[in-house]
Each structure stands twice: as structure tokens, then as C-alpha cells.
Structure 1
Amino acid sequence: MGKYWYQKQLRMVQTVLRETDIVNYNAKAVVEYLEKSNANCIIINAGGIVDFFHSGLDGANLNSFMTNEDILGDLVREAHAKEIKVICRIDFRGAEKDFFRAHPDWFSCEEDGSPKMMSSLIKSEVDIYLPCYNSRYMNEQAMEFTRSIFRQYDIDGIWENALGMPQGVCYCSRCREKYRKDMNKELPTAQQIKNPLVYEEYRKWKYQCALQHIDRIKNTVKEFGDDKAYAAEIFGFLRTAEREAINVLDLDMARDSFDYLVTPAMVSQEAAPASYASGLVYPGSIVKHMKMISKNKQSVLLFGNNGGTLRYVKDPVVENKIWLWEAVSAGGGFWNCLFNGQHPAATHDNRAAYISKPMYDFLHENENILEYNLPIAEAAIYVSKPTRDIFGNSLNFSKDQFCFNMKGIEKVLVEKHIQFVHIPGHINISLEELKPYRVIILPNVKCMSANEIEIFKEYVKEGGRIIASFETSLYDENGNKRNDFGLSEVLGVTSTGTVEDTTVDCYQLIKDTESALLKGIKDTQLLANAEHTLLVNALPGAKAVTTYIPVIRNQPPEKAWIRRMDTVYPVSLTNTFGKGTVVYFAFPIGRALYNYAHDDFVQLFENALDMTLEEDFMIKTNAPASVHIQVISTGEEQNGVMMSLVNHTGTMYRPVHQLVSVHQIEVDIKVPHSPKELRILKAESPVVFKETRNDDGTVTIKFVLDRLDVFAAVWMKM
């Protein structure tokens, strides 16, 4: 059987309609824009908060500007004539006052019975009453609304917007009854939910409610054929919810429920006012993460202006170009959400109308190569979902013990041009999922199940290498603290249970000057320390490279000393377990790399990578760290490898407004054998190839680029 359309490359455009955009809607002009943009799918408002067609349902919230228009019919007819798919956006995050008054029992409520309101979460000109995952409004009403669209129009799928809006504990009658039935107890009170154990129990239950809701909407869509697509809005793996809100949705849950994976990722990321919180390599990172979650589904990056905060004007152009080429280099598809209105010519700011066209053109021109692709990696970061859920907080750096660890680790991997992926960690991980990677990084992976621990033991015993930090494996998958590390004998340490605050005026004492972990570090007895340090004891055979020094206060200078710097507690340590090698840091080095990035932390972590990869990297290059290099495989049918370069070299501060070209870049890539074909997919200057056969039978291909302005890509058919 052939592939459904949503299993092929997706180049999407969403026209973000305001109520007034229904007036004189010009479907022909919209489709002309899609054709010029090389898009193959459009997402258009259908309804929920505001209906853009007559659903025929009781209580429909019809667009007040609607007369005799039939914009869905017009668009489906015009788009299908050009072989462009049409997805309808539904948004059942809430309803206005009149509908709520007619059906108050269809919505979410607080413990005292008062309704939950959107105004408590985001700014809005109107009061929106919120539903929950179990509510009639978000389920039966949404399901009937979806059926009414399919019955009237030959649309190709449904996009459920704002799926993550239901927040906090809901005390509606349905939730009370369902919790009583599922959990054999009453819903926790506002006071009880402050207990971490009660909180986790409720969060997991709510997670199941969210999954059940998703399946209800998906099954409704599939009533009209397996070729009809369903997906919904879920933010990326580095976007954790506020703990108080008890939001539970993440990309991992979508692997089975959605027909393709998509996540919003804006240059200025989800902030009010807009700010530049994410690094410019994030698009490639999130695309790779989606591909690792579900290797057979299309991965799509949703991008738009200013995180939705300043949605009427464009984001900085140069940053957008870097952002989009990053996603291309990882093999992702696109969802353009750049403007408000019918089409660019009918909106206020037309400057960004075609900023994504070069990327869409590139994907279209190389569709046969890039339709199916996966990242190639020598290193992997283990993404622990329980650690993220229990200890992550992307909105508050001081409280987070997951997100910023990930970002710091990625920063060094990117700058060293090391090819990496994220392993979606789970309690039933298998050895086969770990074996492809020469080194696996555990950035403070606090939560590990008994099975995960045994699998990692086996991985290292058979010759695998790991780099771990801080409290890795000190908690089980439910966040319960163990008496000691689950991976104690692998890491080569035991925990004392004491954590010292080493955020200020703290150092490490060098103990083993001959260790490869200290390569290039000379003329010093001390290194910087940071964050918090877990005091650990080394097991026999493990080698302490540096040790903990108690705080040395910096003021007054005359008193900035202590009598004894030497302690028995390792801060950095190497160990051998079976045939494998382990590097352990007793502080969260990922957070330190993100927040402080002192030379000592960078060099320690780079040396750990050199040790575990034995300096035998897939990519060797003279390109500066500001040039990001990514490699992906292009599927069994094409049996090829694409290597891309994205230039980040620019102005001193973000946002980047000007790129500086890099000249005479040499890149060596090691491949198993001679390519059958070498093809330049995109380059801004001549590219020269040279092939060298290695002693081990592999082949090194040297690429020399005379100049890199923004993006270049080459393809090798193997």
C-alpha cells in the first residue's frame, strides 16, 4: 500500500484568520500565494471559539462578520484543483459567556464551583470560560463539530489548537466522578495537591485523561477515512509546564496518537514581551527529537512571528533565516504561521511573506531525497521523561533541573561539530536502543527505573561509554529518592547524601594531573566549580581527577583563604566498568555550561567527549564553532547521506541582524565506503571534493567550500 499524503514531505502554511478576514475572502489569491511559496498544505480556521462556517450545532459561535460566505468550500475547491491539501483548525480551549450560561456543566471549575477563566492565564479582550479534558464541551461538542465539517466539506484533516490549555485541578462533576471511579478516592483539595506524592498521582491521572481525549478526537477524524490526518498543538521537549498548572502534554505522548508530529518553535520564543530564550540551533534539535520519538512519521516545525506576542509584525529576518535552515539541515518539514489574514497582500505587514520560500523551494526540489530521513549520530543525550516531568521547569532557571542541563550539553556538542541525537528515555528501554551510540550523555538524569539501570549497566559492560552528572539515577521513575545511586558501581561513586551549595566562591582541586580529562589544562592547581555539588566517595578502582574544595569567601581579600583545600570528595572522576568507560561530574555540568560556561567547564566536558569518543569524530573541520554542521541519512530507497552547514557567524548580541561570511571551510566526513554519487544541493560558492581511503577500509570525503554565507548542503549516494 502506498503512503498517505501526511506520511510524505509536509510544506504547510497556516493563514491565521481574524474574525474580520471572512469579509471578501479570496480563496484564489490564497492558493496563488501557496503555489508561489511551494506549499503543499494549508491550515485554515474552522471554529470553536469563533466559527467560520455553519456547523448546524446548538450554540454555535458564528463569526459576527459572516453573511453568505463559504470560505471552506471555496478554499477546498481552489486548493484541491492545485493538489494542495486542506486542514481545518479547531479550537475548543473555551467559549464566551452566552454559551457558558447555556451549558455551565460543560466546563471546568475551581474547588468552590466557580468557573475557570482564560483571563487568569493569558490576556484577552473577552472572557473565555475553560473546559477540561473530560468536559462535554471539549469532547462531545468538539467531536460533533468535527463531524459536521467532514460531512459538509472534502477536507483532508483536523488540527486541534491549544490542546494544552486546561490547567490546574478541575473540580467539575465529570472529573469528580471519573477520579472516584479510576482512583477510588475523592479529588485532592487545593491544600492536598501541595503534597508531592498527591500531586504526582493526580498529574499521572490527568495525563491519561489527556490521552483519552486525544484518542476520542482522532477516532472521530478517522471515521471519515484513514487518509484524514489528525494532529494537535503540543510544545517541544524543552518546554515544561508550570508545576502549579499541572499541564501534562508533551511530544512523547503524540508518537502513537498523531499522524505527523509538529511543535511550535518561534525565534522569539513564547514570551510576553517577546524575548530570545532559545538558542538558534533549537529548530534542528527539536526536529531531531521528533524524529527519534517516531521514526516513521513526518516531523514538522511550526514557526511564526515573535512567539505570537507581536504577531502583527515580522521577527528579525536574519534570525528567521538561520532558524529555518537549521530545521532543513535536520530534515524537518515546515508549518508557516508568519502572518495574520487571508494572504500576505491582505494583511498589515507583508515583509515576511516569502522569507521561508528558499527553504520550501529547497525541500520541494529535493523531495525525492528528503522525504524520509533520520539523523546520524555518534553521541546521544538521554532524555528522561520522569526527570523532566518531576524536576523540570523551563520557565524558572533557579528551579529547573532538566531543561537547562540539556541546553548546556547541546551547546558544547554543536560547537565541537559532534553529531548527536536525543534518545527518548523510558522505563522499558532496551539495550538495542542504546547500542548504536559510542557515548551516551546522562545530564543529571535523576529518575531511572530498575530496568533502565540494568540496561545501562549492560551497555557499559559491553564497551559503551557514558558521561553522567550530579544526581543521575539517585531517584526511581516516580521521583522517590534511593539510598544511593542506582548506577553506583558504573559511575564508581557512592553518595553521602550531602549536597553543598557551590554557586559562589567554590573550586575544584586537581588531583590527577595525568588524566585525559585535564588535557590542555596546565599551570593551575584549581578549577572553577559551580551550581550545587553532591559529595560522593569514590569506589575502589575509580580515579578522582578533581576534588571538592569548601567555599573560599572572596571578601575581604585578606581573609580569602582556608586552612585546608584537600578533601576526599571527587568532583570529576573516571571509571572503568566491564569494557566500558565512564566520566562522572558531581555537579550539574550542563547547567553550568548553559549559565556560566567558564572555560574550565567547557574544557572538562570537551575532554570527556574526546576520551569517550577517542577523538575519532565523524566530522573534522576547520569551521568555527559558529558554523553548525549536521548529517542525516536519507532513507533506504535513496540510501544517501546529506551534510548541511548553517552559518551563525554574526553580530555580538541577539537578535542577529547581520551575518558574516566564512571562507575556505574544509570538512572531512568519514563514511563506510566510496559514494556512488556526490551532489551539491545548495552552495553559495564552488565546492571541491577529495576522497581518501583509510587504513580501516572506511573512506574520508573532504569538502572544501570557498565561502559560506548562510546555508550549504551536499548529498552522497552510498
Structure 2
Amino acid sequence: MNWFAQTFRKVHIIYASPLWAKERGTAFDAEEYADSLAGASVDCVELYTKDHHGICYYPCSLGLTFSHDVVGELLAALRKRDIRLIAYFSVCFDNYALGLHPEWRAVNVWGDPCKVGPFYMACWSSGYMDYALQQIRELAQGYTVDGYWLDIMPYVRNVPQTEWMSNSLPSPCYCFSCQKGYEDETGERLPLLETPDSQVGNPLFGDLSLQQIVGQPFLAHHAEQAYQFLLGKGEAFLTQAMDILRSNNPQALITYNGANSPGDPFDYADLVSIEGHAPLYTRQSFIARWGRATGKPFEILVSAGLPGGPLGGLWCRYDHKPPPLLQMENAISLAHGGSSVLGQFPYPDGSTDPAQYRGYEQVFRPTAEVEPWLRQPQSVSDVGIPLLTKPRTASLFWYLMSEGVENIHQALLDYHYQYDVIRNLDDMESYQLIVLADQAALSDSEIERLKEYVAGGGRLLASGYSSLWDENGRRRDDFGLADLFGVSFRRDPGLPYVSVRLRDEALVDRVTSFPMFAEDAPPVEVSLNGAAALGDLVYPETNRTSGTTVMWGNAPPDEDQAHPGLCRNDYGKGVCWYAAWPLRTGGLSNVWIKRLIKELVSDVLTKPVLTTTAPAGVEVVLNRQDGRHVVHLVNHHIGSPDRPSFDEKNGLVLDNLEIQLDLARLGVESVQRVYAPPQSDLSYRMEGNNLVVQVPPLRAHALIAIE
């Protein structure tokens, strides 16, 4: 295990001082800066060495230079205080270089440059890459740092998605370098693809919709070729950069923004690095569970500044979140064995606000006290959720597959089931239930392994397009798991929504008799092939148009257009449930679908390893660690965007909560001590084989150890 997994108190220093700013660098004092970080219990910093403007904060023969050697001065000061330094470098944003060389910019089919906010995106195929590699070489030769962090590394296939905090590859790019290089490599002209988001004036690049993937294989093939060409250029840059860094500093860690994310087509980085921002706390939890599943150390990049805009944190704000909110976000990572790296935004003159360090101290001092209970945790879970993305060979499907798992995550999180996101199918027998949520692209070996699991007595809940494509993104004639599902694929009906009508009386009693509106969940039309239908998908009488509304509502469900929806199939000694639509759980519009998932899971988990009286919105995580069990409770409510709860007098504190652990399931014969680390004993009682623990008052994070 590398050192990164042993440190939990990190700050991401976004020092940028553009040419127009007043008093650039005049207040920068490395010794004072390092003293402030040490006083706040910081043990590692990630420092900007080159920013998006193209300014280098170290002596460099290329690019814009700065008045201070910020890297050298701060590195020396941090070394005296045993604080590690990771060097950040902005790769594909460099407005100075791309302003001088517009031919280095990524452009769409009309020649419009790819521009994110004020910053141009460099093309992997252009001469800019040699420029950036020389800057990286001089950085590596000049300083012995603990790691390197490369930013703006666009590799992920830009399928339509809600913001996933990954850098999407602007493909196809139609700069001259790409057009010439593509023809040289393939013998064909770069195809002129107009995709949904590539209109004139659109600053970003788009890719194919799910309907285009299913219904227009010719278009999908050419889009895939263009992506793979440009991805190869990006991979060449990454391997060259890593060779330079490793040859000069073999012990340093190397990572990049989005490294080892579900959409990352490579596995080169030494750790998982993914952004996750308030108020998407369930997204942060999902990233943490994914990070743990990779088997690598992981970090979640969290803006300490208050969120700006409708989604995500704004890195470049001087007013920070209140400490309890940062404590909560930090605790989400800690609960899964990772760390949240909190952003810091100094002023362009090099000074910082003392209030920032007071906030960090309130987060990191309590973290330091409980670090022995954080290292190398092993999860204890009842449910496994495979996330089997193949972003290099089946690039179009990574987001569909990730979105399916994230929605199941949202449901299980609120109902406090213990579950893992899993990256392979090797150890499915350790779980009572496997949920295969929209895992569209599966290999033959993965299909056989799933069949083996269920035939041997396993329980599987599957949904949507699972197994309709192979690991190379080739469409199968039928689901690869058709015999396991007990249904066969008929067609994509092309509907944006559908109603789900339960037919099973027990489910109707426990969920609802309403026709459940499944929003943003394109249905899959199937025929029964051995399964029993527990519910139907009911299509609307007609598609919604301006001329076919009922007032402002959709057309009603047409019971004459009912198709199998929720199906149950006995297979060998096990059982498979299949839902013929993507299971969406976010927002009020999906509360009944969320409830349905809960009831299906509870039918399998009759004796869960952990139960609790905590409400939805409190994340509860059970780990096995160093000969004991450790339970984390993280109160997401404290960061509610409209009702933030951080005031000492009237802030929300949850009291009189209990957790109950099945000791027989845990293999624990007796309990010697129950306490809140580091040393506060807690009251508990035994009820048969169950240990019942009184949770201490919960504001942001509570930790319970059982020995």
C-alpha cells in the first residue's frame, strides 16, 4: 500500500495569479504559508505548478513565468514540517499557448473551438503536446516531489450525461492535425458527424444518444472510430508524460483528474482521483464506493468554497463552507477508507485568509485523532452491485452502466442496506443479493459467471439493457442473459417514459396500486420466455406533443398497450427478477420506484447484517478493521442547500438513534467493548444474537467501534 492511503488530511491549493491581477505574488511567503498549513493539521498538499492561463509557477523555458519560484520555495518549507507535496499541472487548458497557436485548439465540424468557460481545449493530436511535455520535463527535473497530478486530461467518451466530474474527450475533432492524422492512419477521411450537441455556437462537443446507438449502427461505428483515433493520441501523451516523470522521480505517485473513474479508458494512475461536489452528497458516496472497489487508494476532490451555480462546487471562491459541512463531506470519504482533498483558493497576491485555516483545523484535527480506526477498512455487506464498465472497448455504454448503478446506490443508501459496488464477479457468493443495474455491455465469461451464481442458489435483480451488447460494444440478437431473465428482447419502443403497473397483489399492497410514472427511463420491450410477470409496462396512449396533452399532463397509460415489465424467473436453485426499464430513483417523481426496489431487496434480505433507526439521509457504513468492527454514521442533512444545518444553537443534531448488528452474521462470539473513538464508551445491550448500540448525538459524523 502506498503512502497516499495512510494520509487523510489533504488540501488542493489552487494558486493562480493572472497577468491582469494587482500585486501579483507580492504577499507570497512560503514559510508563513507552510506554518499555517501545519497549524491546521494538513499532512499533504496538491499545489498548482501551472494554471489554466498558461502561467508556470516554477522557472520554465516555455510559457508565462512568475515572479516567485512558488514550487521550490513552498516545497522546501513544507519539507521542514513533514508535509508532502504533489505537483499539479494543467495540461489541455493553456490560454497563453492556445492563444498564440489557434491551430492547436480542438474544433468541431464547423471550426468552432472547444471552449469550457473562458478556456480553450487543446487537441491531443496537435503540436501543443510537445510543448506541454517539455514543461513537464523541466518540472520533473527541477524538483523531487511526492507525486504529480495532471489536470484537464479529456479521455472519457462524451456520451450524453449529467455532469460526472470527468473530462470528456471533444471527439470528433476537426483540426487539421486530426483530419490529416486520421487519414494517414486509416486511409479514410475523417467522417463528418453532426451529433445532438455539436451545433454551431455550442461550446462543447456532443456524442450519440442511446436511441442512435441502438438504431443507427453505421453512425455509431464512425463515431467510435473517430473517438478511438483521438484517444490513441491522448494515450501517447499520457505514456510519454509518465515516462518522463518516472525516469526523473521513480518514487512519486502519478494521477490525473478523473483517473480510474468508471469512464476512464486507462488503468495507468497510481490512485483514483475524481471530483465530487456539494450538494451531490450521494454522488460523493457513490464515488467513494467506486474508489474502494478499484483496490487503489482514492481521493475525492472537494471544493472548500461554497457551491456556485446549479451543480457542483466552485473551486474559485474565497468564502468557504462552514466547518460542519466540510466535516460531513470529509467523513463520506473516510467511511470508505479514502480521503477528501479540500480545495483552497489563495488571492493572486499570494496571501490567504486565516479563516480558511480555522476551518481546515476543525476538519483535520478530529480526523487525526481517529486515524487508527480509518486505515485499511474492509466492508461488510449484504448486497453487491457490479459496475462492469469497459470504457476502452465499449466506450458508448460507460455512462448508461454507471447511471444504473448510481440509481440503485441512491435507493439502498436511504434504506441503510449494506452494499458494495464491485468491479468483477469473482466473489458474488459472499453476497445475499446481486443487483445488475443496466450493465449493457457484458462479456461471455461474465454472462456465464452470473448464470453460475444464480443456478447455485444466488439471487439477482437485473434491469434495462443488461447483457444486450458484448464487451466490444457489439449488439447481440437477444440478451446474453435471456434464459436467466426468462424474457427475450423484442425492440426499443423509442419512448422517453413509461408507466409501471404492478400486478402481483403482495407488491401492490406493499408499494402502490398507482401506475408508477417512470421518468427519463426508456423502456425495453420484451416477451416472456419462462418468467412470470409481476407487473407491466404500460405505454401512453400517444407521445406527448403540444397537441396531445391532457391539460399540462401526459397522455394516460393505455392498458391495451401493456407489455411485461417486472418479471420473476426461477433458474436452477436461484431466482432472477428482471425490470424491463432503467430503475431511476432520484427526486420525488421516482419515490414509488424507489419503494419498489426496497421491497424487492427486503424479500431477499430477511436478516440484514445491520439495521438502524437513523432516517433517510444518514449514511451508515459497516467496516471490519484491525480485529474490530467500525460503524460510520454521516449526516447528509447538515448540507441541505436550502436548510443548511451548521449553527451551534439550532443546527440539526440527531439523537437517540440506534444501530443493531447481527453478531452471528459477523462471526463475533462476544463483545468486550463498544466506544466512540478514540476513548468514549457507549451504552449497548444484547437482544439474542443482536448487539444494539446507542449512537452518540450525531451532527456531521459519528464513529462507533466494537471490539
Query: What TM-score do the two structures reach when normalised by structure 1?
Result: 0.79
1:209 matches 2:233 = yes
Counterpart in 2 of 1:311?
317
Distance 1:73 1:235 in 2: 26
On the 8 A contact 1:236/1:265 being kept in 2, the answer is: no
Distance 1:501 1:170 in 2: 31
Distance 1:651 1:15 in 2: 23
Distance 1:136 1:10 in 2: 39
On the 8 A contact 1:691/1:702 being kept in 2, the answer is: yes
Distance 1:23 1:366 in 2: 39
Structure 1 residue 25, shift from structure 2 partner: 1.5
SS in 1 for 2:152: coil
Counterpart in 2 of 1:297?
297
On the 8 A contact 1:547/1:567 being kept in 2, the answer is: no
Q: How does 1:447-526 map to 2 (within 5 A)?
A: 447-497=441-491, 499=493, 501=495, 503=497, 506-510=499-503, 512-514=504-506, 517-518=507-508, 520-521=510-511, 524=513
Distance 1:409 1:315 in 2: 29
Q: Residue 698 of structure 2 is aligned with which of 708, 712, 715?
A: 708
Q: How does 1:593-672 map to 2 (within 5 A)?
A: 593-613=585-605, 615-634=606-625, 638-649=626-637, 654=642, 656-658=644-646, 659-670=651-662, 671-672=666-667
On the 8 A contact 1:675/1:716 being kept in 2, the answer is: no
One-letter amino acid of the structure 1 residue matched with residue 230 of structure 2? K
One-letter amino acid of the structure 1 residue matched with residue 408 of structure 2? I
CA distance 1:567–1:538, shift in 2 (3 Å): farther
On the 8 A contact 1:14/1:336 being kept in 2, the answer is: yes
On the 8 A contact 1:668/1:703 being kept in 2, the answer is: yes
1:115-170 deviations in Å (ceiling 9; x for gaps): x746x33125xxx5x432244433x3333323323333332222212222662333
Distance 2:252 2:672 in 1: 38
On the 8 A contact 1:134/1:213 being kept in 2, the answer is: no
On the 8 A contact 1:363/1:370 being kept in 2, the answer is: no
1:619-671 deviations in Å (ceiling 9; x for gaps): 1112222322012333xxx2433210112346986463454222211111232
CA distance 1:544–1:418, shift in 2 (3 Å): same
Q: Residue 26 of structure 1 is aligned with which of 25, 29, 45?
A: 29
**Cα RMSD, aligned residues only:** 3.7
On the 8 A contact 1:162/1:233 being kept in 2, the answer is: yes
CA distance 1:474–1:609, shift in 2 (3 Å): same
One-letter amino acid of the structure 2 residue matched with residue 626 of structure 1? G
CA distance 1:536–1:167, shift in 2 (3 Å): closer
Structure 2 unaligned regions, length at least 5:
18-22, 155-166, 196-206, 209-218, 308-312, 543-548
Counterpart in 2 of 1:445?
439
CA distance 1:211–1:662, shift in 2 (3 Å): same
Q: Residue 322 of structure 1 is aligned with which of 319, 328, 332?
A: 328
Q: Residue 361 of structure 1 is aligned with which of 340, 356, 365?
A: 365
SS in 2 for 1:569: strand
1:414-439 deviations in Å (ceiling 9; x for gaps): 11111122223xxxx5x424333322
Structure 1 residue 373, shift from structure 2 partner: 2.8
Distance 2:401 2:461 in 1: 16
Counterpart in 2 of 1:436?
430
CA distance 1:577–1:113, shift in 2 (3 Å): closer
Counterpart in 2 of 1:271?
none
Counterpart in 1 of 2:379?
375
Distance 1:137 1:8 in 2: 37
Structure 1 residue 199, shift from structure 2 partner: 0.6
One-letter amino acid of the structure 1 residue matched with residue 414 of structure 2? E
Distance 1:710 1:74 in 2: 37
Distance 1:78 1:561 in 2: 68
SS in 1 for 2:655: strand
CA distance 1:199–1:527, shift in 2 (3 Å): closer
Counterpart in 2 of 1:533?
523
Distance 1:707 1:94 in 2: 46
SS in 2 for 1:662: coil
Counterpart in 1 of 2:161?
none
Q: Residue 38 of structure 1 is aligned with which of 14, 38, 41?
A: 41
SS in 1 for 2:434: strand
SS in 2 for 1:533: coil
CA distance 1:104–1:301, shift in 2 (3 Å): closer
Distance 1:552 1:379 in 2: 38
Counterpart in 1 of 2:89?
90
Counterpart in 2 of 1:259?
270
Structure 1 residue 54, shift from structure 2 partner: 1.5
One-letter amino acid of the structure 2 residue matched with residue 666 of structure 1? E
Counterpart in 1 of 2:545?
none
One-letter amino acid of the structure 2 residue matched with residue 628 of structure 1? E
Aligned-pair identity in percent equals: 18
On the 8 A contact 1:29/1:343 being kept in 2, the answer is: no
One-letter amino acid of the structure 1 residue matched with residue 431 of structure 2? Y
Q: How does 1:664-703 map to 2 (within 5 A)?
A: 664-670=656-662, 671-674=666-669, 678=673, 680-682=675-677, 687-691=682-686, 694=689, 700-703=690-693
1:322-348 deviations in Å (ceiling 9; x for gaps): 32222222222131213333899x33x
1:542-586 deviations in Å (ceiling 9; x for gaps): 2211234453699599xx999x94777322121111122111112
Distance 1:550 1:190 in 2: 33
Distance 1:236 1:577 in 2: 35
Q: How does 1:533-572 map to 2 (within 5 A)?
A: 533-540=523-530, 542-551=531-540, 555=550, 565=559, 569-572=563-566
CA distance 1:24–1:533, shift in 2 (3 Å): closer
Distance 2:645 2:58 in 1: 42
